[in-house]
A and B are shown apart, each in its own frame.
Chain A
Amino acid sequence: MKALTIAATGMKAQETNVSVISNNIANMRTTGYKSQRANFQDLLYQTLRRQGSTTSDAGTQVPAGVQLGSGVRVVATPRNMTQGDPESTGNDKDLAIRGEGFFEITLPDGRTAYTRDGAFELDSTGTLVTADGYTVQPAITVPNNASDLTISNTGQVQAKIGNATTATVLGQIELSRFVNKNGLEPMGDNLFLETASSGTAQTGNPGDAGYGTLLQSYLESSNVESVNELSSLISAQRAYEMNSRIITAADEMSQTTASLGK
């Protein structure tokens, strides 16, 4: 009976749905995390009787045919790229992006990754790095004797060196953006990699047309809405249960048939 396999596709799809939802909930407090959603599509249809086929010499036609579906599949898990709320941290090396763009990060293996997580630190050489110690591009080095680090909303990094009374410009933070942000490949650690479907990165300064601006001493919190996630979790669970009821029904019907021979 087809119903068995159809309901099984439904249960599998809902399982994926629940894992996407649980990942969202687990990352509720992850800086710069963007919530994901499972998108579903129906599978192929088998046509037993085609509509529009002629039913008589007089030219009458079948108004509606017989089409049997074959279940459901998860087609994509796109991210909801809306802005997360900026949260004040008081740390002068924390940066939040308001609007479009990603920070560019160099991985230890030389590849370039992108992130919205602006929880930066200085390493032993004074270079601005991520929480994992990966360098932020273009590299900015803050000297030992610098104080009053200021990052403007257009990305200019300034600090007072030694006893100087005026601030020295240390560098410029750049942002990268993509035609299709959803095409970026998540690699964990809040990092994304460029792919063929994301398009190539375009780099610009914060505040340029199309790019967001920076906010110093703030972090972008995740955009997961707990209420939405919990209500989707409940409906996913119910859908899972209903699919399993279909399996039971199909099974019981087969049993009834099997009992005939007794």
Chain B
Amino acid sequence: MQNATLVALSGQVALRRKLDVIANNVANMDTAGFKRVSLDFEETTMPKASATLFQRRDRDNRFVRELSTVHDFSAGSVEMTGNDLDVAIEGENGFFVVNTPAGERYTRAGDFAIDNTGRLVTSDGKPVLGDGGEIVFGSEETNISFAHDGTVSSSAGLKGKLRIADFPDTSVLSKQGDNLYSASAAPQVPTYIRVRQGALEKSNVSGVQELTAMMDVQRAYERITNMVKQQNDLSSKAIERLGSVNA
């Protein structure tokens, strides 16, 4: 009978994790290029240690545990900002390639800037890579423009082309924080790409969806707690009844 409490506990732990994931989605509602994450659960069966000798065999206990966090890579809404250094990738495929001390990382956040050496960098200063390495602007250059195919030019002419990485299997990507993804497989060159200057991809988190999920979690949690309560009552009643001695 105590198993019911344990199964309930596994459910509660999982639901708390789920709320953490929802909280992270909501916190990143305004993060450029953020992709919402959902948590999937799996059922784990645990054979019981004993009691298999009865004629009607006890059923195995089934616990819940988290199986995977699934990234929803659908495109976020694109907001026109008018800022020359904001670039959005249209559609859901393709990532900008960013150079970090730990190696190449990938991002959908196109809120770029220029650093003191004239390099095109992300908003925290990591260089954005083009087909021929870093994209560097001279100090006298104006009219920076990104063509639809990712070609970068300025008043001094052609400066390179944004490197876009494509991952047909997005499950190789994992989130690193700082709007970056790392990949366990090499990226491919996309067949078709369209970038838009002066626009920024917002996160694809939908407030309604997250709040509904949150309420679901909350109610499920309450139901499980009630169940635990009933189990407790049951045990205490059993102890009371069976333990009372009629003199």
Q: Chain A residues in contact with chain B, CB under 8 A?
A: 1-4, 6-7, 9-10, 13-14, 17, 37-45, 47-52, 62-72, 75-76, 78, 80-82, 99-100, 177-180, 182-183, 196-199, 202, 209-210, 225, 235-236, 238-239, 242-243, 245-246, 249-250, 252-253, 256-257, 259-260
The answer on a CB contact under 8 Å between B83 and A40 is no
Given the known inter-chain contacts A78-B123, A179-B116, A245-B214, please indicate yes or no for A71 contacting B27, CB distance below 8 A.
yes
Report yes or no: A75 in contact with B116, Cβ–Cβ below 8 A: no
Beyond A210-B141, A246-B23, A252-B218: 10 further Cβ-contacts under 8 Å? Answer: A41-B179, A42-B178, A69-B177, A75-B123, A100-B142, A179-B115, A182-B114, A242-B211, A249-B215, A250-B23
Give Cα A40 to B109, complex, Å.
10
The minimal Cβ–Cβ distance linking A9 to chain B, given in whole angstroms, is 5
The answer, among A63, A71, A81, A253, for a CB contact under 8 Å with B16, is A253
Q: Are A246 and B82 in contact (CB under 8 A)?
A: no
Using C-beta atoms within 8 Å of the partner chain, give the interface range for chain B. Answer: 35 or more
Q: Given A1-B16, A202-B139, are A68 and B24 neighbors across the interface (CB < 8 Å)?
A: yes
Is the CB–CB distance between B177 and A3 below 8 Å? no
Kindly identify, within residues 34 to 49 of chain B, every residue whose CB is under 8 Å from any CB belonging to chain A.
Answer: 34, 37, 39-40
CA–CA, A1 to B20, complex, Å?
Answer: 8
- Quick check: A66 and B67 within 8 Å, CB to CB? yes
A67–B40 Cα distance when bound, in Å, is 11
Interface centre among A13, A42, A48, A196 (most CB of B within 10 A): A42
CB-CB < 8 A to A10: which residues of B? Answer: 23, 26-29
> What is the CA–CA distance of A257 and B224 in the complex, to the nearest angstrom?
10
- Tell me how far the C-beta of A85 lies from the nearest C-beta in chain B, rounded to whole angstroms: 13
B113 lies within 8 A of A2 (CB): no
Tell me whether B177 and A179 are in contact (CB under 8 A).
Answer: no
How many Å lie between the Cα of A192 and that of B186 in the bound state? 44
Q: In the complex the two chains form, is A41's CB within 8 Å of B83's CB?
A: no
Binary interface encoding of chain B residues 176-195 relative to chain A, with 1 for a CB under 8 A from any of its CBs, else 0: 11110000100000000000
Residues of A contacting B32 in the complex (Cβ-Cβ under 8 angstroms): 39-40
Q: A7-B27, A67-B174 are in contact. Are A253 and B19 (CB under 8 A)?
A: yes
A2 touches B20 (CB 8 A): yes
Residue of A2, A14, A67, A253 touching B30 (CB-CB under 8 A): A14
Residue of A nearest to B224 (CB): A256
Contact between B81 and A80, CB atoms less than 8 A apart: yes
Pick the residue among A39, A81, A180, A238 that contacts B116 (CB under 8 A). A180
Give chain B residues whose Cβ lies under 8 Å from the Cβ of A239: 26, 29-30, 207
User: Chain A contact residues: over half helix, strand or loop, or mixed?
Assistant: mixed
For residue B176, give the distance in angstroms from its CB to the closest CB of chain A: 7
**B47: shortest Cβ distance to chain A, in Å?**
19
Chain A nearest CB, measured from B231 CB (Å): 10
User: What CA separation (Å) do A253 and B26 show in the bound complex?
Assistant: 18
Task: Given the known inter-chain contacts A41-B178, A199-B116, please indicate yes or no for A68 contacting B229, CB distance below 8 A.
Answer: no
Check A6/B27 contact, CB under 8 A, given A68-B69, A76-B124, A242-B207: yes
Q: Which residues of B contact A235 (CB under 8 A)?
A: 30
Contact of B24 among A42, A52, A260 (CB under 8 A): A42
Verify if B217 is at the interface (C-beta below 8 Å from A): yes
Any A CB within 8 A of the CB of B175 = yes
Bound CA span A70–B23, Å: 9
Known A63-B171, A69-B37: A45·B176 in contact at CB below 8 Å: yes
Let me know if A199 and B179 touch, CB within 8 A. Answer: no
**Which residues of A sit under 8 angstroms from B221, Cβ to Cβ?**
253, 256
Asked if B123 contacts A197 (CB within 8 A), the reply is no
Q: Are A9 and B27 in touch, CB under 8 angstroms? A: yes
B68 is an interface residue with CB less than 8 A from chain A: yes
What would be 25 A-B contacts, judged by CB atoms less than 8 Å apart?
A1-B16, A2-B23, A3-B16, A9-B27, A10-B28, A39-B111, A42-B24, A42-B179, A49-B66, A51-B172, A51-B184, A62-B68, A65-B68, A69-B175, A80-B83, A179-B139, A202-B139, A210-B142, A225-B82, A236-B30, A239-B29, A242-B211, A243-B26, A249-B218, A253-B222
Indicate whether B210 reaches chain A with its CB closer than 8 angstroms: yes
| 8 A Cβ contacts from B41-62 to A | none
The CA-CA distance from A132 to B15 in the complex, in Å, is 60
Residues of B close to A225: CB separation below 8 A: 82
Give the complex CA separation of A179 and B22 in angstroms. Answer: 41
Min CB distance B136 to A, Å, is 10
